[in-house]
């Protein structure tokens, strides 16, 4: 999800498109055409569509001078601000929370031996996050490779992606893959 947000892509962007952006996949013309059709269909009919019933109201604050100018413009066009379609619902307008812990727990200390990290991780999960969806991701970069890895209760993975990608892109892609 982080990569989708960072790139301004909708939450339903297929993983193959994210892999293409990351330089991991080469898309055929057929896949490109199908992806374009998919995006157009989702934008026009899906929950991200501006014509979809939105709970939120536009909250644009204008200074009086601009408010008058816009009101005059709409009057000249024979319409009003009531006919403006609100922006689609975004991740930030919902009450879904994602917590990221970078160094809050003892198992995140790489100085500990592997067996201790595993035990500390299991202890932290059982005490702190018994009713949450847990993912753990990592990324590394060298001159010739950029690698990502992740584990969740649904899957585990290790990939190499194109070395042109930054460590930040790799971290975001690892998070997306773990959530996807």
pLDDT of residue 129: 78
Q: How confident is the model at residue 98 (pLDDT cuts 50, 70, 90)?
A: low
The model's pLDDT over 112-169, given as tens digits with 9 standing for 90+, comes to 888 898 888 888 888 887 777 777 788 888 888 888 888 877 778 888 888 888 888 8
Distance CA 88, CA 55 (A): 10
Angle (nearest 5°) at CA 48 between 173 and 137:
15
- pTM for the whole structure: 0.38
């Amino acid at each position: 999800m982080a990569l989708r947000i960072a790139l301004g892509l909708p939450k339903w962007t297929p993983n193959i498109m994210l892999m293409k952006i990351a330089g991991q996949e080469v898309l055929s013309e057929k896949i490109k055409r199908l992806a374009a059709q998919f995006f157009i269909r989702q934008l026009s009919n899906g929950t991200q569509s501006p014509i979809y019933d939105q709970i939120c109201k536009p909250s644009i604050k204008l200074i009086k001078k601009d408010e008058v100018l816009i009101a005059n413009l709409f009057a000249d066009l024979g319409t009003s601000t009531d006919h403006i379609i609100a922006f689609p619902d975004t991740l930030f307008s919902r009450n879904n929370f994602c917590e990221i812990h970078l160094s809050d727990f003892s198992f995140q200390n790489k100085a500990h031996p592997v067996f201790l990290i595993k035990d500390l991780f299991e202890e932290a999960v059982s005490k702190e996050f018994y009713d949450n969806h847990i993912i753990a991701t990592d990324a590394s970069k060298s001159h010739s490779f950029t690698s990502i890895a992740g584990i969740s209760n649904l899957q585990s993975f290790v990939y190499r992606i194109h070395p042109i990608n930054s460590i930040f892109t790799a971290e975001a892609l690892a998070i997306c893959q773990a959530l996807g």
